[in-house]
């Protein structure tokens, strides 16, 4: 929480300073996002170890992120630093199918994050820029898991959903980011960014719930549109 308030104080100071500095701008951005999380079947397989003829498949989900940024271009250089405050939705979807029993179910991991981070940018030519950054992602919805099945017309889905919410916990994460973008003369800009999670994004109560504890890493691919302001 101290980090969050310190970041807000920095943003406020930057906005005030931007009134008198042409190198400093601030703006808003929104992005279409595709997210993936690794090793989810391996995490759940412990509960199904005595079953046969089943498959678990996962696929990423499409979502959005958006937020606020401050961009400071260093004088007499082609570099800049860009702190950001971003809200993101992400997750993963798992489908289970047992060819022997006919059982099927879906588990949707639907996490929301508040992200604090910064990008270091290099401008090799006009508005073209490349960047690398670090972001801390606070998981705001660590128990947001949905469950649906074809068993008993879904009458027990609520109980199973609560079971998975109790046994699986979304965690905070750290992301490395790699960015390529272009800033237009009319203050609009486009960015293509890849986030690579370097922490374990999901934890389990493996002993009580028979899940297998492993490392689940997030990754995100985002295409964003932003607009920069130069006057407060």
Q: Is the pLDDT of residue 131 over 90?
A: yes
The structural domains of the chain, with segments of one domain joined by +, span 23-79+92-111+123-229
190, β-bridge pairs: 182, 225
For 105-119, give one letter per residue: b (16+ CB within 10 A) or e: bebebbbbbbbbbbb
Residue 152 half-sphere exposure, CB side, CA atoms within 13 Å?
6
Q: What is the mean pLDDT of the chain?
A: 87
179-199 pLDDT tens trace:
999 999 889 999 999 999 999
55-96 pLDDT tens trace:
899 999 999 999 999 999 998 899 999 999 999 999 999 999
Percent of the chain with pLDDT over 70: 86
CA–CA separation, 204 vs 43, rounded Å? 8
CA–CA separation, 59 vs 158, rounded Å? 23
Q: Which residue has the higher pLDDT, 190 or 12?
A: 190
Distance of CA 197 to the CA centre of its chain: 9
**Cβ proximity of 91 and 122 under 8 Å:** no
CA–CA separation, 69 vs 103, rounded Å? 47
**pTM for this model (two decimals):** 0.84
Average pLDDT over residues 23-39: 95
């Amino acid at each position: 929480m101290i980090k969050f308030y310190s970041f807000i104080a920095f943003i406020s100071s930057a906005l005030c300073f931007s009134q008198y500095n042409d190198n400093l701008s601030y703006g808003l951005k929104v992005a279409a996002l595709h997210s993936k999380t690794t090793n989810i079947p391996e995490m759940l397989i412990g509960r199904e170890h005595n079953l046969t003829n089943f498959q678990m498949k996962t696929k990423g989900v499409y979502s959005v992120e958006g937020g606020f940024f401050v961009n400071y271009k260093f004088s007499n250089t082609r570099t800049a630093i860009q702190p950001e405050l971003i809200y993101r939705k992400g997750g993963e979807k798992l489908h289970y199918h047992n060819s022997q029993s006919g059982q099927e179910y879906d588990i949707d991991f639907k996490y929301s994050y508040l992200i604090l981070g910064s990008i270091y940018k290099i401008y090799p030519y006009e508005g073209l820029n490349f960047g690398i950054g670090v972001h801390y992602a606070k998981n705001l919805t660590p128990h947001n898991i949905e469950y649906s099945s074809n068993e008993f017309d879904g009458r027990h889905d609520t109980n199973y959903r609560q079971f998975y919410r109790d046994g699986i916990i979304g965690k905070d994460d750290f992301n490395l980011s790699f960015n390529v973008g272009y800033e237009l003369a009319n203050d609009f800009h486009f960015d293509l960014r890849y986030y690579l999670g370097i922490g374990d994004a999901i934890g389990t109560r493996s002993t009580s719930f028979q899940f297998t504890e492993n490392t689940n890493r997030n990754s995100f691919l985002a295409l964003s549109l932003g607009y920069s302001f130069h006057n407060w």
